[in-house]
Amino acid sequence: MVIGCGVRQFMVRQPAGEIAKRSIRIKDEPVPSIVGGHNAGIINGNEATPWPWQVSIQTSRGEHFCGGSLISTNWVLTAAHCSVQTGYHYVVLGQYDRGSNELVQVKKIAKVITHPIYNTQTDYNDIALLKLSSAVEMTSRISPICLPSSLTNILPGTHCVTTGWGVTENDLNPRFLQQATLPIVSQAQCRRFWGKNTITDAMICAGASGASSCEGDSGGPLMCESSGVWYQLGIVSWGHKSCSTDRPVAYTRVSYFRKWIDEIIRVN
């Protein structure tokens, strides 16, 4: 099956799940999370599997601990702070309902390549690539997301979407994939919240508008749509410890690292 990147396939209907608050990793302590999130795939009242590049990174016991996104047949993009390890962790693709027998693909991880100047204290350069042990079979449920060019500049106020299975307010381990729509925040505004030395050009901010990410879902995508095609603009990195809805969340800016991504894939 030939499927282009960034294409959503609305084919699989799932049983309805409860509306929940989604979450991501935080700087200090775990706090329950996304305020304003809802079940991924509720399109005109029907649940679907509309994010075919979303992956679940799991332990050998099947425990989800980080998200990621499929960017080609052999590569997954995630956050460096997820600390993925070969031999201990696996990538699950094509999953939406973690409590059902879906047609998923489970892949071992052959290589973990973390950005060479990732800083564990500041989360600067919070990006990693996972090379899968074998190629993914593309299906209506599994396909890659497009990456922006290194020159991509998204306007503040643009509404984008973030997804994942992170900790929720009512369910510590949500069964269904969650999503939230967040506006892009300008660098100047984000620096007013977090400080000019905290937010670098390698980050992109979103939120501060009644919805927020919190602990969980690290490594998952922040994605924006253009002419019917979805592009991954950010990687879930960090947010406020109290999950404040009036503070933006920081994501790793994918366009900033596009040349590094291309080079790693080329030589590996």
| DSSP character string of 118-146 | --TTT-TT--EEEEESSPPPP-SS--PPB
Contact 37, 178 (CB under 8 A): yes
**Any idea which of 104-118, 146-160, 177-191, 233-247 has the lowest mean pLDDT?**
233-247
Beta bridge partners of 225: 230
Q: In which band, very low, low, confident or very high, does the pLDDT at 181 lie, cut at 50, 70 and 90?
A: confident
Determine which one of 97, 123, 126, 217 is catalytic.
126
Contact 242, 30 (CB under 8 A): no
Determine which one of 69, 213, 218, 255 is catalytic.
218
DSSP state of 56: E
Exposed, middle or buried by CB within 10 Å (0-12, 13-18, 19+), for 63? exposed
Can you give the pLDDT at residue 51? Answer: 94
Can you give the pLDDT at residue 49? Answer: 53
Residue 94, sorted as left (phi over 0), alpha (psi -120 to 50) or beta, turns out to be left
Can you give the pLDDT at residue 170? Answer: 56
Can you give the pLDDT at residue 26? Answer: 38
CATH number belonging to domain 54-144+258-267: 2.40.10.10
- Write down the residue that tokens 């998923």 correspond to: 104
Whether residue 86 has pLDDT greater than 50: yes
Whether residue 212 has pLDDT greater than 60: no
Beta bridge partners of 184: 206
Q: Is 159 a catalytic residue?
A: no
Can you give the pLDDT at residue 101? Answer: 72
Q: Token pair of 184, please?
A: 């892009």
Can you give the pLDDT at residue 217? Answer: 77
**Any idea which of 87-91, 157-161, 170-174 has the lowest mean pLDDT?**
170-174
What residue segments make up the domains of the chain, in order of their start?
A: 54-144+258-267
Beta bridge partners of 114: 128
Of the candidates 70, 180, 191, 183, the one whose C-alpha atom is nearest the C-alpha of residue 131 is 70
In tens, the pLDDT along 119-166 reads: 999 999 999 999 999 999 999 899 999 999 999 989 999 999 988 887
Can you give the pLDDT at residue 188? Answer: 95
Q: Which residues contact 195 (CB under 8 A, 6 or more apart)?
A: none
Can you give the pLDDT at residue 5? Answer: 93
Determine which one of 38, 64, 81, 115 is catalytic.
81
Whether residue 258 has pLDDT greater than 50: yes
Of the candidates 76, 69, 79, the one whose C-alpha atom is nearest the C-alpha of residue 118 is 79
Q: Average of pLDDT values for 101-130?
A: 95
Output the pTM of the full model.
0.85
